[in-house]
């Protein structure tokens, strides 16, 4: 049986395909507190109230609920889903641009909710650092085709045969740079 992907892998893969390997390596070998850096910790604090279910006591809000799309074989958590409004919200610590990875995470959540019989009427990204909301439009057929192409790319990705040059601008901000063999020696502290 094909292994499922997680919602967060989509965003990670778009940032850098190699990061998926290092994320999995660290997750299976170390406690999260040993490798989470500042941006991740900030990201975690943005989700903390949701993960422990204390963001809202309203019965009409799903928070931190694990959902699964059997169509795409995708597993992950939704941050907030307001059942009465059909409003789906993904919170990040800081959003400076609506990247494809953010949109695709919301698409994945929406597809999984649809399979559970929930209608999603609105999708939003929320940046807690500056209290800004970004409405994410529903995907067109072209968007869905690109989303599916990314899932296929993740499933067929082979680290060993990836000969692409690393993007140093990304590497310098990457949480895995100290263990990534593609991060140049001269850039290490």
Q: Does 176 bind ligand SF4 (CB under 6 A)?
A: yes
**Cα–Cα distance, 85 to 61 (Å, whole number):** 10
Residues 162, 17 contacting (CB under 8 angstroms): yes
Site pattern 142..171 for ligand SF4 (x: CB under 6 A): ------------------------x---xx
Q: What is the dihedral of CA 103, 122, 49, 6, to 10 degrees?
A: -40
First vs last C-alpha separation in the chain = 42
Write down the least CB distance from residue 27 to ligand SF4, Å. 14
Residues 6+ apart with CB under 8 A from 154: 5, 9, 10, 13, 17, 20
For 141-155, the DSSP string reads: HHHHHHHHHHHHHHH
Site pattern 10..29 for ligand SF4 (x: CB under 6 A): ------x-xx--x-------
**Where does this chain touch ligand SF4 (CB under 6 A) — which range of 39-47, 134-142, 150-158, 180-188?**
180-188
Q: Does 9 bind ligand SF4 (CB under 6 A)?
A: no
Q: Does 46 bind ligand SF4 (CB under 6 A)?
A: no
Give residues in contact with ligand SF4 (CB under 6 A).
16, 18-19, 22, 166, 170-171, 174, 176-177, 180, 182-183
């Amino acid at each position: 049986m094909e292994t499922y992907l997680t919602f967060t892998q989509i965003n990670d893969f778009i940032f850098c395909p190699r990061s998926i390997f290092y994320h999995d390596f660290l997750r299976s070998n170390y406690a999260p507190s040993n490798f989470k850096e500042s941006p991740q910790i900030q990201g975690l604090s943005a989700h903390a109230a949701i993960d422990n279910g204390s963001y809202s006591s309203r019965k009409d809000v799903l928070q931190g609920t694990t959902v699964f799309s059997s169509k795409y074989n995708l597993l992950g958590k939704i941050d907030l889903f307001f059942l009465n409004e059909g409003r789906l919200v993904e919170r990040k610590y800081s959003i400076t641009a609506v990247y494809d990875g953010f949109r695709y995470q919301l698409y994945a959540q929406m597809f999984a909710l649809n399979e559970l019989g929930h209608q999603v009427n609105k999708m939003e990204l929320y940046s807690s650092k500056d209290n800004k909301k970004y409405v994410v439009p529903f995907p067109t057929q072209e968007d869905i085709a690109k989303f599916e192409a990314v899932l296929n790319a993740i499933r067929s990705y082979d680290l060993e045969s990836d000969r692409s040059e690393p993007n140093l601008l990304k590497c310098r901000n990457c949480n895995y740079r100290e263990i990534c063999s593609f991060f140049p020696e001269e850039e290490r502290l």
